[in-house]
Structure 1
Amino acid sequence: MKNNPHAFTVAPGDAIRAPAFPKSLVETAYEHLLSLIVTMRIPPDGHIGIEGLARELKISQTPIREALNLLEAQKLAYKIPNVGFRAAPLLKRSEIRDLFELRLLVEPRAAAFAAQRSSDETLAALRDMSQAMSRSVEGDVEYAQFAEGDARLHQLIGAASGNRFIAEMIESLHVHLHIFRFLYRTSAAVDAAQEHAALVAALLDRDPFAAEEAMRAHLIASRGRMERAVNAQEAADDSRPAAPRRRRRTVGANGGTPS
């Protein structure tokens, strides 16, 4: 697990209590749930049936609840008292715009700082992560793991900036997994992997200007992918036929047949 940059990871700032069940069972539940949510097989705001998942995975409900607590900390799920867990709603267009405005203000400079301040060990870890993410992504679980790896890579660059406040801000956004929900079944993983490779190459060269520009180019490309995905989704929604309206039944003054 330690050598797998995509493996079951939770940002350290999330202050999540340690799972009560053996990690392997929580990991199984977490990865399964993550793939269902990121690929929207559980739709946004959709109910997450714990009993059905327990039967499907042949495990008890406890590790599933532990996994849901982790997903709640990542803002991918939320709990309604006396109702249960639901998948998080999708980001709104205005939220996407505001999100990328913030990221473009902060993350390019974080990459520049990382090129100057990062340790050799951290740069080696980023290189290994980027190389692992360049491999083909096939299947829902692998796609979800790529999305999680993307989050870890950006968080690690934030930490490597040497600025605690930058690192905490990037970590707290919890945006990457939400972004990849929009981009499932597109070339996002391949494109992002290529952009990551250029970014990490600049970091390895300890070139702050190239690292800043590579991060900016990556974010602008990511924003473009999101805009196209949102446009396509809205177009699909508009083309869907409206649900037929039920004809209102009225009774005439004489109590006769409905009009």
Structure 2
Amino acid sequence: MSTLGQLPSFTPGARTMLGDEVYGALQQSILDGTFPPDARINAGELARQFEVSPTPVREALARLESDGLVEKLPLRGYRTTDLLDRTRLTELFELRLLLEPGSAASAAERRSATDLEELAHEVEAGRTAVGEADAYRLLSRHDVRLHDLVFRSAQNETVRQAYARTHCHLHTFRLAYTGAYVSDTVDEHAAIVRAITDGDPSAAAESMRTHIERSRDRLMRVVD
């Protein structure tokens, strides 16, 4: 089992934000490989490194356990979980193909003016992130927001929450943090948003399906 890695720089803030900041710092460290798979994580050691009380660390670890990024070991603290294998990754993309093209079609029919404004803004945010020093981190977050906006525009909260519980994006980002996300992804997002903006359900569904299949193929090349 690996040992605890070097934490990113951290400046404690107000108590109401402390738990979120610890959670964000730990999540980033797991996604970028600072904490590799099967790394032992000790809450007391984290509290000392962050210079905080154990409470926000325990809260953050509980959230990370819900994300599927860590697991609790009886009497031994926590460990980071293993990376997805090819079978599990294939299953996640099969689920995406079941849920997301239909949701994109519904979004084209049900989207509001506010939805369209937010979708357009998110595509622009993705474009401005390309080429930045921390592009992968920025684009990963853009990806989460864009797909969630499509689900929100579809106005089916049950489907949105069902997908969110898979934490699919977290696990795929972690699997290929070094660069499976390319600028082509933003172009694919733009095509989805265009179809939704045009109110074209068939084009929205097809654009989403194409995007998911290409994302799957890009990631599988990294895994292989």
Q: Distance in 1 between matches of 2:182 and 2:15?
A: 31
Q: 1:80 to 1:148 in 2, by over 3 A?
A: farther
Asked whether the equivalents of residues 111 and 211 of structure 1 are also in contact (C-alpha less than 8 Å), the reply is yes
Larger-Rg structure: 1
Closer, same or farther in 2 for the Cα pair 1:192/1:104, shift >3 Å? same
In structure 2, the residue corresponding to 1:78 is in which secondary structure? strand
Instruction: Give the equivalent residue in structure 1 for 2:4.
Output: none
Note the aligned Cα RMSD (angstroms): 2.2
Question: What is the one-letter code of the residue matched to 1:41?
Answer: T
- Please say if 1:36 is aligned against 2:29: yes
Partner of 1:227: 220
Aligned to 1:205: 198
- What SS is found at the alignment partner of 1:173? coil
Work out whether residues 45 and 86 of structure 1, in 8 Å CA contact, stay in contact via their aligned partners in 2. Answer: yes
Matched, 1:107 2:100: yes
Look up the match of 1:123.
116
Question: Is the counterpart of residue 25 in structure 1 residue 18 in structure 2?
Answer: yes
For residues 44-68 of structure 1, what are the alpha-carbon distances to aligned partners after superposition, in whole Å with 9 as ceiling and x for unaligned?
2221233333333333332222222
| Matching residue of 2:177 | 184
Q: Could you say what secondary structure the match of 1:104 adopts? A: helix
Q: Structure 2 CA distance, aligned partners of 1:82 and 1:174?
A: 27
CA drift at 1:183: 1.8
Deviations 1:27-84 (A, max 9, x none): 3212211111111221122212333333333333322222222222222222223221
Change (3 A) 1:82 1:107: same
Q: From the superposition, tell whether residues 80 and 180 of structure 1 become closer, same or farther in structure 2 (CA, over 3 Å).
A: same
Specify the SS of the correspondent of 1:129: helix
Change (3 A) 1:65 1:190: farther
Percent identity between the aligned chains?
A: 39
Q: Within 2, Cα distance between the matches of 1:189 and 1:81?
A: 40
* Paired AA for residue 23 in structure 1: T
Map of 1:85 onto structure 2? 78
Return 5+ residue gaps in structure 1 as ranges.
1-20, 232-259
1:74 to 67, 81, 87: 67
Paired residues, number? 209
Residue 144 of structure 1: how far off its partner (Å): 4.1
Under a length normalisation based on structure 1, what TM-score does the superposition of the two structures give? 0.72
Considering fraction of residues, name the structure with more helix: 2
TM-score, normalised with respect to structure 2: 0.83
Counterpart code for 2:105 = A
Question: Which residues of structure 2 form unaligned runs of 5+?
Answer: 1-13
Deviation at 1:176, TM superposition (A): 0.4
After superposing the two structures, state which structure 1 stretch, 57-66 or 217-226, moved more: 57-66
Q: Does the Cα contact within 8 Å between 1:108 and 1:212 map onto a contact in 2?
A: yes
How far 1:146 sits from its partner (Å)? 3.7
The CA deviation at 1:145 is 5.2
Counterparts of 2:136 and 2:15 in 1: how far apart (Å)?
25
2:133 aligns with 138
Go from structure 1 to structure 2 and tell me whether the alpha carbon gap of 1:94 and 1:200 turns closer, same or farther (over 3 Å shift): same
- Aligned partners of 1:158 and 1:170 also within 8 Å: no
